[in-house]
Amino acid sequence: MLRPFRLRAAKARAALCALTALTALAVPVASPATAASAFQVSAPRSSTLQVFALQGPVLQGPALPARALAGPASPDGVSASPDASAPPDEAANARRDQRWVLEMLGVEQAWKVTRGAGVTVALVDSGVDDRVAELRGRVISGPDMGSIEFDRDRPDAGRHGTAMASLIAGAGRSGTQGVFGTAPEARVLSLPLIVEERADGRSPLRDENLGSNAGSPLALAIRYAVDHGAQVVSMSLGAYGPEQSEREAVAYALSKGVVLVAAVGNDGDSAYTLEKGTSFWNFPAGYSGVIGVGAVDEMGRPAEFSSDNLSVQVVAPGVGVPVVLPGGGYGSSEGTSSAAALVAGVAALIKAKYPTISPHLVARALTSSATARPRGGYDDHLGFGVVNAAGALAEAGRLTAGAVRVPLPVPEGMHFGEGLPSAGPSTPGPEPARLWLYGAGLVGGLLAFAGGVVMLNRRPDRDTGGGAGRSAGRSTGQGASGAVAPAGRWRRRSRA
C-alpha cells in the first residue's frame, strides 16, 4: 500500500516536547511563524511510499547552528528562506549558492552542447507551481495520480514538487539570477502523486484509495508519462516493497526507450543500516533498469542519510542544494530527492542530443563517465561515482556511434568481394564413409563374438576303446585285472 513519505515524525514529537520544556526555562520560544530550523531528528521509517528528503519540527533557542539560518524546515525536507517573496538579492544569492552544484556536475560545459530543448521530463512527485519565474511556460500539468486533487492555492502546496522541478528545468531569473536546473530548456510534465503531509503528521490521502491489486498509483503515473511523450521520468519517492504492476510499468517504459531515474532513499543513518552495514532497498530505485541515485555533500562525501546498497548506481549533490519554492521564494533541500532530480536533468541532456539512445546506454554513459570514482571502481555508497554531465554527453556520443551499423554498398553480382559463391552447407550428420566403417566394425565384432560362443560349446572327441572297457568293467563288477568283486558288497545299502 502506498502512502506519502512520513519521515522522522514519532521521535520528533517526543524530542520536541523535551526541548520545549528545556527551552522554556532558558529563553522565550518564538512563534511558529518565525521559528528557525534549529532542530532535526530521526524517526522510524515507513514501509510505504516515501518522499526522500530530510525533515523535522523546529524551535527557536540559544546557540542556533549555522544551517538553521536557512529558515524553517518542512515535512518534505525543503527549507524555506525567511522571505518567500524572493527579492532580487535573494535570487542572486541563490545563484551564487548553487554554483558548487553545477560545477560538481560539469553542467555548464555540457550546456555548450545542449540545454535539453525538446525533451519532456515527467516528475512523479507533489504538484508544481508553474507560476514561479524559473519554470514559467515550461510546466505541463498532468492528472492527479493520487486519490485527491492537488490544490495549488494552498500555501504549502507543491513545495517538494516545485523544488525538484527547479533542479531539473529551472531557467533562472533575469538571465543570470535564481536557480538553474541541469536541463534549463527541458519541459516538465507534472504528475502529482505525493501530497505533503499535514501538521499532525497524518496523510491527507485515504489509505484504501492509495493502491490496489490492479495497479499502484506509481505504475499508472509511469505508464501515463510514457504514453504522453516523456523521454525521462524522475521519481524522488519510494517504498520498501516491490509490486508486480510497477515492475510491468518499468518494463513498458524501458521498451519504449524512456529513461527512469529514482532516489535510492534516506535510510543511511537508520538503526538497521548502522547495525547491518547496508540499507533496505527502496523501489522504484531497486527495479532493474532504473537508475538509482544517492547523495553526496559539497566535498563529494556520501551523505550520512543516503541509503547504501547495490541499487546505488551514481551520486549527485543532495546536501544544502538551493531550490525554488512555491510563490517564487528560495530555500535549500537535503535528501536523495535532490540528487535524483539533478541526474534526471542530465539524462534529459543526453536524450536531447541523442534522441534514439536506449535507456541502458544512457545509464552506461552516466556510470562510465562518472568522476570521483571509489576505490575499485564501485561501492554501495557512491555507486560508480559523481555524475558528470559533459563527460556523459561525450560518452553517449561514443556509445551511439558504436551501436549504429552502417551497411556497406555491394556491387551487383558481387558476393562480399570477387569469386564464386561458396558451396552450400553440407548435410548435417556423420560422413557416409565413417558410417560404413563403423557399421563394418560392428558386424565384425558380432561375428567374432558368435564364433567364440560356438567354440566354447563344442565337446572334445573321446577314446571309445578305453572308455568302453572301463564302462564294461564297472557294469560287470570286474576291475582292470579281471577280478570279480564280491556280490554282496554292491547289492544294496539299505537294511532288509
Q: State the catalytic residues.
A: 125, 160, 337
What sign results for the dihedral spanned by CA atoms 327, 332, 337, 340? positive
Cβ neighbours for 139, distance < 8 A, ≥ 6 positions apart: 128, 130, 165, 187, 188, 190
- By three-state DSSP, how is residue 469 classified? helix
Please tell me what DSSP assigns to residue 81.
Answer: P
Please tell me what DSSP assigns to residue 32.
Answer: G
Pairing state between β 120-125 and 232-235: parallel
* Burial profile 175-188: b = 16 or more Cβ within 10 angstroms, e = fewer: eebbbbbbbbbbbb
Q: What is the CA radius of gyration of the chain?
A: 41
Count other C-beta atoms under 10 Å from residue 261's C-beta. Answer: 33
Q: Which residue intervals of 49-87 are DSSP H helices?
A: none
396, 114 Cβ separation under 8 angstroms: no
Q: How far apart are CA 84 and CA 298, in angstroms?
A: 25
Cβ neighbours for 44, distance < 8 A, ≥ 6 positions apart: 10, 11
126, 165 Cβ separation under 8 angstroms: no
Q: How far apart are CA 1 and CA 241, in angstroms?
A: 9
What number of helices (H) and strands (E) belong to the chain?
12, 14
Cβ neighbours for 423, distance < 8 A, ≥ 6 positions apart: none
